[in-house]
Amino acid sequence: MIIKKLNQFPLIRILGRYFSKLIFILGIISFIIILILSFYYFNSGMYERYKPLLLLKKINDKIIYRYFGFDFYKIDKYLNRNIKSLKYFVIDNDLENITIKIDRENLNNLERQRKNKLNRTSEITSDFSKATLNYDENNYKIKMRVKGDRVLHWYNKDETSYKIDLRGKDRIWGLEEFSIQKPITRNYIYEYIFHKFLEFNNLISLKYFFVNLDINNKKHGIYAVEEGFSKELIERNKKKNGPIFGLDEDEGVIYPNIKYDLYSKKFWANNYPELTKKASLKLKKLKLGKINTNEIFDIEKWATYFAIIDLTGNFHGSIPKSVKLYYNPDSQKFEPIGFDGHYNSDLFQNFLTIDFLDEDNKNCDYICIEREWYLKFLRLEDRNVNKKFINLYLDELKKISSDKFINDFQRKNLEQINFFNDQFLSESSKKDKVLYKGFGLYLFDNKYLLKRSKYLQKRISEIEIKFSKNI
Protein backbone atom coordinates (compact mmCIF):
# COMPACT_ATOMS: atom_id res chain seq x y z
CA MET A 1 0.00 0.00 0.00
CA ILE A 2 2.78 2.45 1.03
CA ILE A 3 4.85 1.61 -2.07
CA LYS A 4 1.80 2.16 -4.31
CA LYS A 5 1.22 5.59 -2.77
CA LEU A 6 4.88 6.55 -3.16
CA ASN A 7 4.83 5.48 -6.81
CA GLN A 8 2.21 8.16 -7.47
CA PHE A 9 5.00 10.75 -7.33
CA PRO A 10 6.96 11.06 -10.62
CA LEU A 11 10.31 11.90 -8.97
CA ILE A 12 10.13 8.83 -6.74
CA ARG A 13 9.26 6.62 -9.75
CA ILE A 14 12.30 7.99 -11.63
CA LEU A 15 14.60 7.45 -8.65
CA GLY A 16 13.29 3.92 -8.21
CA ARG A 17 13.82 3.13 -11.86
CA TYR A 18 17.43 4.33 -11.92
CA PHE A 19 18.45 3.53 -8.33
CA SER A 20 20.19 0.23 -9.12
CA LYS A 21 22.04 1.81 -12.04
CA LEU A 22 23.12 4.74 -9.85
CA ILE A 23 24.47 2.39 -7.18
CA PHE A 24 26.35 0.42 -9.84
CA ILE A 25 27.94 3.58 -11.29
CA LEU A 26 28.93 4.86 -7.84
CA GLY A 27 30.44 1.43 -7.10
CA ILE A 28 32.54 1.56 -10.27
CA ILE A 29 33.73 5.10 -9.51
CA SER A 30 34.62 4.15 -5.92
CA PHE A 31 36.54 1.09 -7.17
CA ILE A 32 38.53 3.21 -9.63
CA ILE A 33 39.37 5.79 -6.93
CA ILE A 34 40.55 3.02 -4.58
CA LEU A 35 42.75 1.54 -7.34
CA ILE A 36 44.31 4.95 -8.10
CA LEU A 37 44.98 5.69 -4.42
CA SER A 38 46.42 2.19 -3.89
CA PHE A 39 48.72 2.56 -6.91
CA TYR A 40 49.91 5.95 -5.65
CA TYR A 41 50.42 4.59 -2.11
CA PHE A 42 52.66 1.71 -3.20
CA ASN A 43 54.55 3.53 -5.99
CA SER A 44 55.17 6.98 -4.50
CA GLY A 45 57.33 5.91 -1.59
CA MET A 46 54.51 6.57 0.87
CA TYR A 47 54.41 2.85 1.69
CA GLU A 48 57.93 3.01 3.14
CA ARG A 49 57.14 6.08 5.22
CA TYR A 50 53.67 5.07 6.37
CA LYS A 51 53.10 1.37 6.87
CA PRO A 52 49.44 0.29 6.41
CA LEU A 53 48.59 0.19 10.12
CA LEU A 54 50.26 3.53 10.78
CA LEU A 55 48.52 5.07 7.78
CA LEU A 56 45.14 3.78 8.94
CA LYS A 57 45.76 5.25 12.40
CA LYS A 58 46.65 8.65 10.92
CA ILE A 59 43.53 8.62 8.74
CA ASN A 60 41.50 7.64 11.79
CA ASP A 61 43.00 10.32 14.06
CA LYS A 62 43.37 13.19 11.59
CA ILE A 63 40.19 12.79 9.54
CA ILE A 64 37.61 10.28 10.75
CA TYR A 65 37.81 11.01 14.49
CA ARG A 66 38.66 14.70 14.18
CA TYR A 67 35.84 15.61 11.81
CA PHE A 68 33.26 12.85 12.32
CA GLY A 69 33.77 11.88 15.96
CA PHE A 70 34.12 8.15 15.26
CA ASP A 71 37.19 6.28 16.50
CA PHE A 72 37.81 2.88 14.87
CA TYR A 73 40.18 2.01 17.71
CA LYS A 74 37.34 2.26 20.23
CA ILE A 75 34.88 -0.09 18.53
CA ASP A 76 34.98 -2.43 21.54
CA LYS A 77 33.93 0.45 23.80
CA TYR A 78 31.13 1.44 21.42
CA LEU A 79 29.86 -2.15 21.45
CA ASN A 80 30.06 -2.27 25.23
CA ARG A 81 28.06 0.96 25.44
CA ASN A 82 25.39 -0.37 23.10
CA ILE A 83 25.08 -3.55 25.14
CA LYS A 84 24.65 -1.53 28.33
CA SER A 85 22.01 0.66 26.69
CA LEU A 86 19.79 -2.29 25.69
CA LYS A 87 17.89 -2.15 28.99
CA TYR A 88 16.60 1.33 28.12
CA PHE A 89 14.57 -0.10 25.25
CA VAL A 90 12.22 -1.58 27.84
CA ILE A 91 12.62 0.69 30.90
CA ASP A 92 12.89 4.44 31.52
CA ASN A 93 16.00 6.05 32.93
CA ASP A 94 16.20 6.89 36.63
CA LEU A 95 16.34 10.68 36.39
CA GLU A 96 13.77 13.02 37.92
CA ASN A 97 11.11 14.48 35.64
CA ILE A 98 9.98 18.05 35.02
CA THR A 99 6.93 18.95 32.93
CA ILE A 100 6.26 22.28 31.24
CA LYS A 101 2.76 23.32 30.17
CA ILE A 102 2.55 26.22 27.73
CA ASP A 103 -0.32 27.55 25.63
CA ARG A 104 -0.24 27.86 21.85
CA GLU A 105 0.46 31.62 21.73
CA ASN A 106 3.49 31.44 24.04
CA LEU A 107 4.72 28.26 22.34
CA ASN A 108 4.55 29.97 18.95
CA ASN A 109 6.57 32.86 20.36
CA LEU A 110 9.33 30.43 21.42
CA GLU A 111 9.30 28.80 18.00
CA ARG A 112 9.68 32.22 16.32
CA GLN A 113 12.66 32.90 18.59
CA ARG A 114 14.22 29.59 17.60
CA LYS A 115 13.70 30.15 13.87
CA ASN A 116 15.08 33.68 14.11
CA LYS A 117 18.27 32.29 15.64
CA LEU A 118 18.40 29.52 13.05
CA ASN A 119 17.91 31.94 10.17
CA ARG A 120 20.10 34.67 11.74
CA THR A 121 17.26 37.19 11.47
CA SER A 122 16.61 40.08 13.82
CA GLU A 123 12.80 39.96 13.89
CA ILE A 124 11.57 41.31 17.22
CA THR A 125 9.76 38.77 19.39
CA SER A 126 8.62 38.86 22.97
CA ASP A 127 11.64 38.11 25.14
CA PHE A 128 9.92 35.68 27.48
CA SER A 129 6.97 33.32 27.19
CA LYS A 130 4.78 32.47 30.18
CA ALA A 131 4.33 28.83 31.17
CA THR A 132 3.85 26.47 34.11
CA LEU A 133 6.49 24.02 35.35
CA ASN A 134 5.49 20.92 37.33
CA TYR A 135 8.02 19.17 39.54
CA ASP A 136 7.43 16.75 42.38
CA GLU A 137 3.66 17.38 42.16
CA ASN A 138 4.12 21.14 42.62
CA ASN A 139 3.31 23.78 39.99
CA TYR A 140 5.53 26.82 39.45
CA LYS A 141 4.75 29.87 37.33
CA ILE A 142 7.68 30.53 34.99
CA LYS A 143 8.77 32.62 32.05
CA MET A 144 11.10 31.13 29.45
CA ARG A 145 13.00 32.04 26.29
CA VAL A 146 15.28 30.37 23.76
CA LYS A 147 18.98 30.63 24.66
CA GLY A 148 22.43 29.70 23.37
CA ASP A 149 25.01 30.91 20.84
CA ARG A 150 25.79 27.69 18.99
CA VAL A 151 23.54 25.93 16.49
CA LEU A 152 23.31 22.85 18.73
CA HIS A 153 21.19 24.90 21.14
CA TRP A 154 18.31 25.45 18.72
CA TYR A 155 18.84 23.51 15.48
CA ASN A 156 16.38 20.80 16.49
CA LYS A 157 12.99 22.01 17.72
CA ASP A 158 12.72 19.16 20.22
CA GLU A 159 16.23 19.77 21.59
CA THR A 160 16.06 23.54 22.08
CA SER A 161 17.82 25.21 25.03
CA TYR A 162 15.81 27.52 27.30
CA LYS A 163 16.43 30.18 29.94
CA ILE A 164 13.86 29.93 32.76
CA ASP A 165 12.94 32.46 35.44
CA LEU A 166 10.47 31.72 38.22
CA ARG A 167 7.73 34.30 38.62
CA GLY A 168 6.99 35.42 42.15
CA LYS A 169 8.69 34.22 45.32
CA ASP A 170 8.67 30.49 44.53
CA ARG A 171 11.94 28.63 44.17
CA ILE A 172 12.72 25.20 42.74
CA TRP A 173 15.87 23.37 43.87
CA GLY A 174 16.54 26.63 45.71
CA LEU A 175 16.88 28.40 42.34
CA GLU A 176 15.13 31.50 41.08
CA GLU A 177 16.60 31.29 37.56
CA PHE A 178 18.31 28.55 35.56
CA SER A 179 18.88 27.20 32.05
CA ILE A 180 17.92 23.84 30.62
CA GLN A 181 19.83 22.40 27.67
CA LYS A 182 20.77 19.08 26.14
CA PRO A 183 23.83 17.57 27.87
CA ILE A 184 25.86 17.60 24.63
CA THR A 185 25.92 21.43 24.65
CA ARG A 186 28.32 21.25 27.61
CA ASN A 187 29.92 17.89 26.74
CA TYR A 188 27.88 15.69 29.07
CA ILE A 189 29.42 14.76 32.43
CA TYR A 190 32.56 16.87 32.00
CA GLU A 191 30.68 20.06 32.87
CA TYR A 192 29.26 18.40 35.99
CA ILE A 193 32.78 17.38 37.06
CA PHE A 194 34.01 20.93 36.46
CA HIS A 195 31.43 22.41 38.83
CA LYS A 196 31.94 19.68 41.41
CA PHE A 197 35.66 20.36 41.38
CA LEU A 198 35.02 24.06 42.01
CA GLU A 199 32.76 23.11 44.92
CA PHE A 200 35.36 20.64 46.23
CA ASN A 201 37.91 23.47 46.30
CA ASN A 202 35.62 25.98 48.04
CA LEU A 203 35.09 28.21 45.02
CA ILE A 204 31.72 29.56 43.93
CA SER A 205 30.03 26.76 41.98
CA LEU A 206 26.77 26.51 40.07
CA LYS A 207 24.23 23.79 40.64
CA TYR A 208 24.45 21.54 37.60
CA PHE A 209 22.55 18.25 37.18
CA PHE A 210 20.27 16.32 34.81
CA VAL A 211 16.52 15.71 34.49
CA ASN A 212 13.98 14.41 31.98
CA LEU A 213 11.99 17.15 30.23
CA ASP A 214 8.37 16.93 29.05
CA ILE A 215 6.68 19.82 27.20
CA ASN A 216 2.92 19.60 26.65
CA ASN A 217 2.96 15.81 27.15
CA LYS A 218 5.77 15.32 24.63
CA LYS A 219 9.01 13.78 25.89
CA HIS A 220 12.15 15.76 25.02
CA GLY A 221 14.64 13.45 26.74
CA ILE A 222 17.49 14.31 29.11
CA TYR A 223 18.27 17.96 29.84
CA ALA A 224 20.99 19.58 31.94
CA VAL A 225 19.87 22.10 34.57
CA GLU A 226 22.36 24.96 34.96
CA GLU A 227 21.98 27.54 37.74
CA GLY A 228 21.77 31.23 36.81
CA PHE A 229 23.59 34.23 38.30
CA SER A 230 21.53 35.56 41.17
CA LYS A 231 21.75 36.30 44.88
CA GLU A 232 20.62 32.70 45.52
CA LEU A 233 23.84 31.48 43.91
CA ILE A 234 26.00 33.78 46.04
CA GLU A 235 24.19 33.11 49.30
CA ARG A 236 24.13 29.36 48.72
CA ASN A 237 27.92 29.55 48.40
CA LYS A 238 27.97 31.31 51.82
CA LYS A 239 28.99 34.70 50.44
CA LYS A 240 27.57 38.15 51.06
CA ASN A 241 25.40 39.21 48.14
CA GLY A 242 27.41 41.30 45.70
CA PRO A 243 27.32 42.34 42.03
CA ILE A 244 28.23 39.80 39.34
CA PHE A 245 29.89 40.99 36.13
CA GLY A 246 29.88 39.32 32.73
CA LEU A 247 30.65 40.49 29.20
CA ASP A 248 28.34 42.52 27.05
CA GLU A 249 29.09 40.30 24.06
CA ASP A 250 27.70 42.82 21.60
CA GLU A 251 30.69 45.01 22.51
CA GLY A 252 33.32 42.31 21.92
CA VAL A 253 34.69 39.17 23.57
CA ILE A 254 38.49 39.46 23.11
CA TYR A 255 40.34 41.11 26.01
CA PRO A 256 40.89 44.06 26.41
CA ASN A 257 38.37 45.04 23.70
CA ILE A 258 35.46 44.14 25.93
CA LYS A 259 32.83 45.80 28.06
CA TYR A 260 31.67 44.36 31.37
CA ASP A 261 28.00 44.46 32.23
CA LEU A 262 26.06 43.64 35.39
CA TYR A 263 23.60 40.88 36.10
CA SER A 264 20.51 42.37 37.81
CA LYS A 265 21.81 45.75 36.64
CA LYS A 266 18.80 47.81 37.75
CA PHE A 267 18.88 46.35 41.26
CA TRP A 268 22.54 47.17 41.84
CA ALA A 269 22.41 50.58 40.15
CA ASN A 270 19.35 51.63 42.17
CA ASN A 271 20.19 50.13 45.56
CA TYR A 272 23.99 50.08 45.72
CA PRO A 273 25.20 52.72 43.24
CA GLU A 274 28.48 53.52 45.01
CA LEU A 275 29.50 49.87 45.35
CA THR A 276 28.60 49.20 41.72
CA LYS A 277 30.47 52.26 40.47
CA LYS A 278 33.55 51.36 42.52
CA ALA A 279 33.66 47.80 41.18
CA SER A 280 33.15 48.94 37.57
CA LEU A 281 35.93 51.53 37.86
CA LYS A 282 38.39 48.88 39.06
CA LEU A 283 37.72 46.73 36.00
CA LYS A 284 38.21 49.76 33.71
CA LYS A 285 41.54 50.59 35.39
CA LEU A 286 42.69 47.00 34.95
CA LYS A 287 41.92 47.12 31.21
CA LEU A 288 43.82 50.39 30.87
CA GLY A 289 46.86 49.05 32.72
CA LYS A 290 46.51 51.48 35.63
CA ILE A 291 46.22 48.80 38.30
CA ASN A 292 47.60 45.31 38.94
CA THR A 293 45.38 42.23 39.14
CA ASN A 294 46.79 41.52 42.62
CA GLU A 295 45.17 44.72 43.91
CA ILE A 296 41.59 44.03 42.84
CA PHE A 297 41.34 40.24 42.34
CA ASP A 298 41.39 37.63 45.09
CA ILE A 299 44.43 35.98 43.54
CA GLU A 300 44.40 33.02 45.92
CA LYS A 301 41.01 32.04 44.58
CA TRP A 302 42.03 32.80 40.99
CA ALA A 303 45.19 30.71 41.40
CA THR A 304 42.98 27.83 42.53
CA TYR A 305 40.60 28.45 39.63
CA PHE A 306 43.29 28.31 36.94
CA ALA A 307 44.82 25.24 38.55
CA ILE A 308 41.42 23.51 38.33
CA ILE A 309 41.14 24.57 34.68
CA ASP A 310 44.54 22.97 34.03
CA LEU A 311 43.50 19.73 35.72
CA THR A 312 39.99 19.33 34.32
CA GLY A 313 40.79 20.70 30.86
CA ASN A 314 37.81 23.09 30.91
CA PHE A 315 39.81 25.92 29.30
CA HIS A 316 36.73 27.40 27.66
CA GLY A 317 35.55 28.23 31.18
CA SER A 318 38.54 30.51 31.77
CA ILE A 319 38.13 32.92 28.85
CA PRO A 320 36.52 36.33 29.58
CA LYS A 321 33.35 35.38 27.71
CA SER A 322 32.74 32.47 30.08
CA VAL A 323 34.06 33.14 33.59
CA LYS A 324 31.98 35.59 35.62
CA LEU A 325 33.34 38.06 38.15
CA TYR A 326 31.76 38.28 41.61
CA TYR A 327 32.66 41.42 43.53
CA ASN A 328 32.89 40.54 47.21
CA PRO A 329 31.65 43.54 49.25
CA ASP A 330 33.68 42.39 52.27
CA SER A 331 37.09 41.88 50.63
CA GLN A 332 36.33 44.39 47.83
CA LYS A 333 37.97 42.03 45.38
CA PHE A 334 36.74 39.96 42.44
CA GLU A 335 36.29 36.19 42.68
CA PRO A 336 35.73 33.75 39.79
CA ILE A 337 32.42 32.05 39.03
CA GLY A 338 33.07 29.11 36.73
CA PHE A 339 30.72 28.86 33.76
CA ASP A 340 30.58 27.07 30.38
CA GLY A 341 33.73 25.03 30.86
CA HIS A 342 32.88 22.87 27.83
CA TYR A 343 35.73 20.39 28.03
CA ASN A 344 37.10 19.34 24.65
CA SER A 345 39.10 16.16 24.98
CA ASP A 346 40.83 16.76 21.66
CA LEU A 347 42.51 20.01 22.74
CA PHE A 348 44.96 21.36 25.33
CA GLN A 349 46.57 17.99 26.02
CA ASN A 350 50.00 19.62 26.21
CA PHE A 351 49.11 22.98 27.66
CA LEU A 352 48.83 24.75 31.02
CA THR A 353 47.75 28.30 31.86
CA ILE A 354 51.33 29.32 32.69
CA ASP A 355 52.36 28.48 29.11
CA PHE A 356 50.88 31.81 28.03
CA LEU A 357 54.18 33.31 29.21
CA ASP A 358 55.82 31.53 26.28
CA GLU A 359 54.67 33.43 23.18
CA ASP A 360 55.95 30.62 20.93
CA ASN A 361 53.70 28.02 22.57
CA LYS A 362 50.73 27.45 20.25
CA ASN A 363 49.14 24.58 22.15
CA CYS A 364 46.56 27.05 23.48
CA ASP A 365 44.58 26.54 20.26
CA TYR A 366 41.52 28.85 19.96
CA ILE A 367 42.17 30.60 23.30
CA CYS A 368 45.55 31.91 22.07
CA ILE A 369 43.73 35.11 21.09
CA GLU A 370 42.98 35.72 24.79
CA ARG A 371 46.67 35.83 25.80
CA GLU A 372 46.34 39.39 27.16
CA TRP A 373 43.66 38.25 29.61
CA TYR A 374 45.81 35.50 31.05
CA LEU A 375 48.88 37.74 31.19
CA LYS A 376 46.93 40.05 33.52
CA PHE A 377 47.48 37.33 36.12
CA LEU A 378 50.89 36.02 35.05
CA ARG A 379 52.58 39.42 34.69
CA LEU A 380 52.41 42.74 36.50
CA GLU A 381 51.66 45.96 34.65
CA ASP A 382 55.43 46.63 34.41
CA ARG A 383 55.61 43.31 32.43
CA ASN A 384 57.63 41.58 35.16
CA VAL A 385 56.55 38.08 36.18
CA ASN A 386 53.83 38.10 38.86
CA LYS A 387 55.78 36.09 41.44
CA LYS A 388 53.02 36.20 44.05
CA PHE A 389 50.38 34.78 41.72
CA ILE A 390 52.63 32.16 40.13
CA ASN A 391 53.77 30.84 43.51
CA LEU A 392 50.15 30.51 44.63
CA TYR A 393 49.22 28.90 41.31
CA LEU A 394 52.04 26.32 41.54
CA ASP A 395 51.07 25.48 45.13
CA GLU A 396 47.51 24.82 43.97
CA LEU A 397 48.70 22.72 41.04
CA LYS A 398 50.68 20.56 43.45
CA LYS A 399 47.72 20.18 45.79
CA ILE A 400 45.04 19.25 43.26
CA SER A 401 47.29 17.00 41.17
CA SER A 402 48.29 14.79 44.09
CA ASP A 403 47.03 11.21 43.96
CA LYS A 404 45.39 11.64 47.37
CA PHE A 405 43.46 14.73 46.28
CA ILE A 406 42.19 13.07 43.09
CA ASN A 407 41.20 9.93 44.97
CA ASP A 408 39.40 11.97 47.63
CA PHE A 409 37.43 13.80 44.93
CA GLN A 410 36.50 10.60 43.15
CA ARG A 411 35.54 8.87 46.37
CA LYS A 412 33.04 11.66 47.00
CA ASN A 413 31.72 12.10 43.45
CA LEU A 414 32.41 9.03 41.30
CA GLU A 415 29.17 7.24 42.22
CA GLN A 416 27.07 10.19 41.01
CA ILE A 417 29.28 10.63 37.94
CA ASN A 418 28.76 6.98 36.97
CA PHE A 419 25.02 7.28 37.66
CA PHE A 420 24.57 10.23 35.28
CA ASN A 421 26.76 8.62 32.62
CA ASP A 422 24.59 5.51 32.83
CA GLN A 423 21.50 7.63 32.15
CA PHE A 424 23.07 9.09 28.98
CA LEU A 425 23.01 5.55 27.57
CA SER A 426 19.23 5.80 27.30
CA GLU A 427 19.63 8.35 24.48
CA SER A 428 22.59 6.72 22.70
CA SER A 429 24.36 10.04 23.20
CA LYS A 430 26.57 11.14 20.30
CA LYS A 431 30.13 12.44 20.40
CA ASP A 432 30.29 16.19 21.06
CA LYS A 433 32.00 17.92 18.13
CA VAL A 434 31.17 21.37 19.60
CA LEU A 435 29.32 22.67 16.53
CA TYR A 436 27.58 19.41 15.64
CA LYS A 437 27.02 15.81 16.75
CA GLY A 438 29.62 13.25 15.73
CA PHE A 439 28.84 9.85 14.23
CA GLY A 440 30.50 8.11 17.13
CA LEU A 441 28.98 7.65 20.57
CA TYR A 442 29.89 9.72 23.61
CA LEU A 443 32.46 7.90 25.73
CA PHE A 444 33.80 8.81 29.14
CA ASP A 445 37.14 7.79 30.62
CA ASN A 446 36.73 7.90 34.41
CA LYS A 447 40.52 7.85 34.73
CA TYR A 448 41.00 11.07 32.81
CA LEU A 449 41.61 13.13 35.97
CA LEU A 450 44.30 10.71 37.14
CA LYS A 451 45.94 10.78 33.70
CA ARG A 452 45.85 14.55 33.60
CA SER A 453 47.23 14.78 37.15
CA LYS A 454 50.30 12.78 36.06
CA TYR A 455 50.91 15.33 33.30
CA LEU A 456 50.60 18.17 35.83
CA GLN A 457 53.04 16.51 38.20
CA LYS A 458 55.58 16.19 35.39
CA ARG A 459 55.11 19.79 34.27
CA ILE A 460 55.33 21.28 37.79
CA SER A 461 58.92 20.06 38.17
CA GLU A 462 59.85 21.53 34.78
CA ILE A 463 58.18 24.86 35.59
CA GLU A 464 59.93 25.19 38.95
CA ILE A 465 63.30 24.65 37.29
CA LYS A 466 62.51 27.10 34.47
CA PHE A 467 61.26 29.87 36.76
CA SER A 468 63.55 29.19 39.74
CA LYS A 469 65.32 32.51 39.29
CA ASN A 470 62.12 34.51 38.83
CA ILE A 471 59.92 33.00 41.53
For the stretch 175-229, pLDDT in tens is 999 999 999 999 999 999 999 999 999 999 999 999 999 999 999 999 999 999 9
Neighbours of 255 (CB within 10 A): 20
Distances (CA, A) of 376 to 53, 290, 340, 387, 470: 46, 12, 21, 13, 17
Residue 243 DSSP SS3? coil
Identify which of 313, 314, 305 has the alpha carbon closest to the alpha carbon of residue 396: 305
Residue 8 reports pLDDT greater than 60 = no
Give 48's pLDDT tier (boundaries 50, 70, 90). low
pLDDT at 386: 96
Residues 6+ apart with CB under 8 A from 343: 187, 190, 191, 194, 312, 313, 314, 316
Q: Which of 38-42, 161-165, 435-439 has the lowest mean pLDDT?
A: 38-42
Parallel/antiparallel/unpaired status of strands 162-166 and 253-254: unpaired
Q: How far is CA 92 from CA 18, 64, 188, 423, 424, in A?
A: 44, 33, 19, 9, 11
The pLDDT of residue 471? 58
Q: Is the pLDDT at 1 greater than 50, yes or no? A: no
Look at residue 313 in the predicted model and tell me its pLDDT: 96
CA proximity to 310, closest of 435, 433, 457: 457
**Model confidence pLDDT, tens digit, residues 246-259:** 999 989 999 999 99
pLDDT band, very low/low/confident/very high, at 415 (cuts 50, 70, 90): very high
Q: Looking at residue 3, what is its pLDDT?
A: 41
Residue at 84: amino acid letter = K
Look at 76-80, 120-124, 221-225, 338-342 and tell me which has the smallest mean pLDDT: 120-124
Task: Extract the runs of DSSP E, i.e. beta strands, from 193-297.
Answer: 208-215, 218-227, 244-247, 253-254, 257-258, 260-262
33 confidence band (pLDDT: 50, 70, 90): confident
| Structure confidence by residue, pLDDT tens digits, 427-452 | 989 999 998 999 899 999 989 999 99
Look at residue 193 in the predicted model and tell me its pLDDT: 98
Between residues 395 and 383, the one the model is more confident about: 395
DSSP string, 275-344: HHHHHHHHHHHHHTTSS-HHHHB-HHHHHHHHHHHHHH--GGGGSTTT-EEEEETTTTEEEEE-------
pTM for the full predicted model? 0.89
pLDDT tens per residue, range 310-355: 999 999 999 999 999 999 999 999 999 999 999 998 899 999 999 9
